[in-house]
């Protein structure tokens, strides 16, 4: 048995194959059984014992009685499900009609989105108001345009940069 594991291990190393942890643990278990068994009984052959147990397990799994029993159990589970299904659907629909069903939604990230929308609305209002102030051509002047309109555009630029930075920082 050692020779088989050694050949298998060398082949796996040669072809860069890694076994799942479960298979490695099975191999270690078989090696331990073989080692302990050979110490207790020098004529013990782990390969033969594993083969016998494997045949028993396969025979048990492929036994028509076991297959039929498993199939019958599966069909009975489906039958029970189908019996209960109309009552469950009816109960759920009654709860919907009575308004007893509640839905909890856990949102994440909507607060910052809400803030960005609010700032964007304020920003658009400032831009429109500043444009109207400049077009009205009334009040104090700065650089030959309305000072109120100019101040509105400066605030709009600052708020616009704030919104853009908020969007870019999320990506």
Domain end (from 61, 82, 99) = 61
Q: Is residue 87 part of a domain?
A: no
Q: Give 33: exposed, middle or buried? Use CB within 10 Å, 0-12, 13-18, 19+.
A: middle
Distant-in-sequence, close-in-space partners of 115: CB < 8 Å, separation ≥ 6: 166
Task: With CA atoms as reference, report the closest residue to 119 among 157, 151, 81.
Answer: 157
pTM recorded for the entire structure: 0.35
Q: Is residue 105 part of a domain?
A: no
Q: Is residue 44 part of a domain?
A: yes
165 touches 125 (CB < 8 A):
no
Pairing of strands 145-146, 141-142: antiparallel
- CA distances in angstroms from 12 to 2, 17, 21, 23, 45, listed in the order given: 15, 5, 14, 13, 25
Sequential pLDDT tens for the chain (171 residues): 556 667 777 888 899 888 788 888 887 888 888 888 888 888 888 778 878 888 999 999 899 998 999 899 999 999 999 999 999 999 989 988 888 887 777 777 677 677 778 878 888 888 888 888 888 877 788 778 888 888 888 888 888 888 788 778 765
Bridge partners of residue 146, in order along the sequence: 141
Q: Is residue 14 part of a domain?
A: yes
The tally of CA atoms less than 13 A away on the side-chain side of residue 121 is 5
Task: With CA atoms as reference, report the closest residue to 166 among 91, 131, 115.
Answer: 115
CA pair distance 96, 129, nearest whole angstrom: 48
36 touches 1 (CB < 8 A):
no
Overall number of domains in the chain? 2
Q: Is residue 46 part of a domain?
A: yes
| Structural domain containing residue 155 | 110-170
Q: Is residue 71 part of a domain?
A: no
Q: Is residue 26 part of a domain?
A: yes
What do you get for the CA distance between the two ends of the chain, in Å? 58
Q: Is residue 91 part of a domain?
A: no
């Amino acid at each position: 048995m050692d020779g088989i594991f050694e050949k298998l291990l060398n082949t796996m190393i040669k072809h860069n194959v890694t076994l799942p942890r479960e298979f490695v643990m099975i191999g270690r278990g078989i090696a331990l059984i073989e080692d302990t068994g050979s110490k207790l009984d020098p004529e013990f052959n782990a390969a033969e014992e594993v083969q016998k147990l494997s045949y028993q397990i396969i025979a048990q799994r492929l036994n028509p009685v076991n297959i039929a029993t498993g199939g019958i159990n599966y069909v009975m589970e489906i039958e029970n499900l189908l019996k209960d299904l109309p009552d469950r659907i009816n109960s759920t629909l009654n709860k919907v009609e009575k308004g007893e069903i509640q839905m909890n939604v856990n949102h994440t990230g909507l607060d910052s989105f809400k803030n960005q929308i609010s700032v964007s609305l304020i920003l658009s209002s400032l831009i429109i108001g500043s444009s109207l102030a400049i077009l009205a051509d009334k009040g104090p002047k700065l650089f030959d345009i309305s000072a109120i309109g100019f101040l509105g555009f400066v605030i709009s630029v600052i708020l616009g940069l704030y919104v853009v930075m908020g969007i870019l920082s999320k990506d």
